[in-house]
């Protein structure tokens, strides 16, 4: 009989690194998802996740709707649903979108388990390993995570004050064309972008469609924030400008109702939607009918429109509170934009500051943000960070920004000191 410790030595553990698929080897954990665990620690003021405000969840209305559904149509809400999504919701969505200038047929709409699933499904049906796609720099990291999982080669185009730079996009597609590389799609969050909060103006939207038409490239319009506008004129949705079946638009109830339902919708060319439905059959059969019927009732009863008005007011207040607190507590070296909608403010610090290095110090002060470089495909953005203003209370925003301002000031003083030291001491 061998003693326990000797027995342990003889056992060889399985080395999964040799077993994982090439696809899995390229996967990377999402910084936002990892941060979510950390920022759930009590006492932390988190400007990290793009989460709705918990006080804004419409509990009473949801309770009423759930009661009605269980009394009226339990046989539907508790049953499996079709993969495309429950017909009542798809019809209500088509009608609702028509009011917003987007004319869509029922066979162009499918329900997904959050827009994140749509990002996975479209990758599944469009991408072979090594296929080229074009994304903004910076861009939503959940999307690049999904594309990376399908071994896409991501080409980047700068995103500035007016969103994706159209001259740069034209140039990029031209270069790729000359190299004989045809991108499968351009991925964009055109309205109140995640992470930078910027919006593509109307003229540039038309140009985006023209450019993509010239090079025959699809467009993925990921738009979770377009209904959350606090100032300025609405810009036309890319889907409503599309005359060539080139745009796939993603929308979600996560930011306008509650992410807990995990209900979103993808709208676009029927051929593409059909294929994504088949991919979804293999993935999860259908999105949860219960949540879909709740979402349907929200639209049909008019409660969603009411709720939207309410959260727009709430988030606008929070946005203004954050911007005012930043004016008060951030040093002049910090620069940021004033987003007209959505959930995020994007901050740029001097080049000698690394927000990833600074993150630990912020955590020690119980305040968190998302490190900006996570939103870049290439090694860029080390001096940037994303701040969410929708989740925290106004008091937390004021206190958190004050703490963060101190952390930034200290970091600048320390790093500036080091630079001066190296200059003085050769
Ligand atoms: N796209 C963008 C741009 C997002 O910001 C998010 C959520 N942060 C998603 C997709 C995914 O949202 P969900 O899966 O909750 O619908
Ligand atoms: O919790 C998530 O992953 C959704 C939020 C996304 C974001 O912070 O951009």
pTM of the model: 0.94
According to CATH, the topology of domain 59-301 is 3.40.640
Any ligand 2 atom below 6 A from CB of 33: yes
Averaged over successive runs of 10 residues, the pLDDT of the chain (426 residues) comes to: 57 89 88 82 93 93 98 98 98 96 95 98 98 98 96 97 98 97 97 98 98 98 98 96 97 97 98 98 97 98 96 98 98 97 98 97 96 96 98 97 98 85 60
Question: pLDDT at position 156, please?
Answer: 98
Is the C-beta atom of 295 inside 6 A of ligand 1?
no
Three-class DSSP labels, the chain = CCCHHHHHHHCCCCCHHHCCCHHHHCCCCCHHHHHHHHHCCCCCEECCCCCCCHHHCCHHHHHHHHHHHHHHCHHHHCCCCCCCCCHHHHHHHHHHHHHCCCCCCHHHEEEECHHHHHHHHHHHHHCCCCCEEEEEECCCHHHHHHHHHCCCEEEEEEEECCEECHHHHHHHHHHHHHCCCCCCEEEECCCCCCCCCCCCCHHHHHHHHHHHHHCCCEEEEECCCCCCECCCCCCCCHHHHCCCCCEEEEEECCCCCCHHHCCEEEECCHHHHHHHHHHHHHHHCCCCHHHHHHHHHHHHCCHHHHHHHHHHHHHHHHHHHHHHHHHHHCCCCCEECCCCECCEEEEECCCCCCHHHHHHHHHHCCEECEEHHHHCCCCCCCCEEEEECCCCCHHHHHHHHHHHHHHHHHHHHHHHHHHHHHHHCC
Q: Does the CB atom of residue 405 touch ligand 1 within 6 A? A: no
**Same fold flag, 23-57+306-417 and 59-301:** no
Q: Is 194 in the pocket of ligand 2 (CB under 6 A)?
A: yes
pLDDT number for residue 5: 56
* CA-33 nearest atom, ligand 2: 3
CB-side neighbour CA atoms (13 Å) of 53? 23
Query: What pLDDT does 115 receive?
Result: 98
Neighbouring residues of 94: CB distance < 8 A, sequence distance ≥ 6 = 104, 105, 106, 109
Rounded to the nearest angstrom, the distance between the alpha carbon of 323 and the centre of ligand 2 is 21
Ligand 2 pocket mutation pick from 50, 339, 370 by most atoms within 8 angstroms of CB: 50
Is 49 touching ligand 2 by the criterion CB < 6 Å? yes
Nearest CA to ligand 2 atom 5: 50
Ligand 2 center to 264 CA (angstroms): 14
Q: How far is the CA of 96 from the centre of ligand 2 (A)?
A: 25
Q: For a substitution probing ligand 1, which of 163, 224, 253, 295 has the most ligand atoms within 8 Å of its CB?
A: 224
Q: Is 50 in the pocket of ligand 2 (CB under 6 A)?
A: yes
Q: What pLDDT, on the 0 to 100 scale, is given for residue 416?
A: 83
CB 385 within 8 A of CB 368: no
- Which pLDDT score, from 0 to 100, does residue 26 have? 85
Is CATH 3.30.360.10 the classification given to domain 23-57+306-417?
A: no
Model pLDDT, residue 287: 97
The count of other CB atoms within 10 Å of the CB of residue 171 is 13
32 lines ligand 2 (CB under 6 A): yes
Q: Taking phi first (over 0 means left), then psi (-120 to 50 degrees means alpha), and beta for anything else, what does residue 262 get?
A: left
Taking CA atoms only, the protein residue closest to ligand 2 atom 9 is 50
Give the residues across from 335 on adjacent strands.
Answer: 348
Q: Give the model's pLDDT for residue 8.
A: 58
Q: In the structure encoding, which two tokens stand for residue 121, read together?
A: 């499904």
Q: Whose CA is nearest to atom 7 of ligand 2?
A: 50
Where exactly are the structural domains of the chain?
23-57+306-417, 59-301
């Amino acid at each position: 009989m061998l003693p326990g410790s000797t027995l342990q030595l003889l056992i060889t553990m399985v080395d999964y690194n040799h077993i994982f698929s090439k696809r899995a080897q390229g996967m990377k954990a999402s910084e936002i998802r990892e941060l979510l665990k950390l920022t759930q620690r009590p006492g932390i003021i988190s400007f990290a996740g793009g989460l709705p405000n918990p006080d804004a969840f419409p509990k009473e209305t949801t309770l009423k709707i759930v009661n009605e559904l269980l009394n009226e149509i339990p046989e539907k809400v508790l049953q499996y649903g079709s993969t495309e999504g429950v017909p009542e919701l798809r019809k209500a969505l088509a009608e609702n979108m028509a009011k917003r200038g987007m004319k869509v047929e029922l066979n162009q709409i499918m329900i997904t388990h959050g827009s994140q699933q749509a990002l996975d499904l479209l990758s599944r049906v469009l991408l072979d390993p090594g296929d080229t796609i074009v994304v903004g720099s910076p861009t939503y990291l959940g999307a690049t995570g999904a594309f990376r999982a399908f071994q896409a080669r991501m080409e980047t185009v700068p995103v500035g004050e007016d969103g994706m730079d159209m001259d740069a996009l034209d140039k990029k597609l031209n270069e790729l064309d000359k190299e004989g590389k045809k991108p499968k799609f351009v991925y964009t969050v055109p309205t109140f972008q995640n992470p930078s909060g910027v919006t593509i103006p109307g003229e540039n939207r038309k140009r985006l469609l023209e450019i993509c038409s010239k090079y025959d490239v699809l467009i993925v319009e990921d738009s979770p924030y377009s209904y959350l506008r606090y100032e300025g004129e609405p810009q036309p949705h890319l889907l409503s400008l599309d005359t060539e079946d080139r745009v796939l638009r993603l929308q979600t109830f996560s930011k306008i109702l509650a992410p807990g339902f995990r209900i979103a919708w993808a709208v676009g060319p029927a051929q593409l939607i059909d294929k994504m439905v088949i991919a979804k059959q293999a993935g999860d059969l259908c999105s949860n009918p219960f949540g879909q019927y709740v979402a349907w009732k929200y639209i049909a009863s008019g409660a969603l429109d009411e709720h939207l008005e309410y959260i727009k007011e709430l988030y606008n207040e929070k946005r203004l509170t954050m911007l005012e607190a930043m004016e008060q507590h951030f040093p002049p070296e910090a620069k940021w934009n004033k987003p007209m909608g959505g959930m995020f403010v994007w901050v740029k610090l001097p080049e000698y500051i690394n927000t990833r290095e600074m993150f630990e110090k912020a955590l020690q002060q119980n305040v968190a943000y998302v490190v900006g470089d996570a939103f870049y495909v290439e090694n860029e953005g080390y001096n940037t960070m994303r701040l969410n203003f929708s989740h925290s209370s106004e008091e937390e925003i004021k206190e958190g920004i004050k703490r963060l301002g101190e952390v930034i000031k200290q970091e600048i003083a320390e790093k500036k000191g080091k630079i001066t030291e190296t200059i003085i001491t050769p």
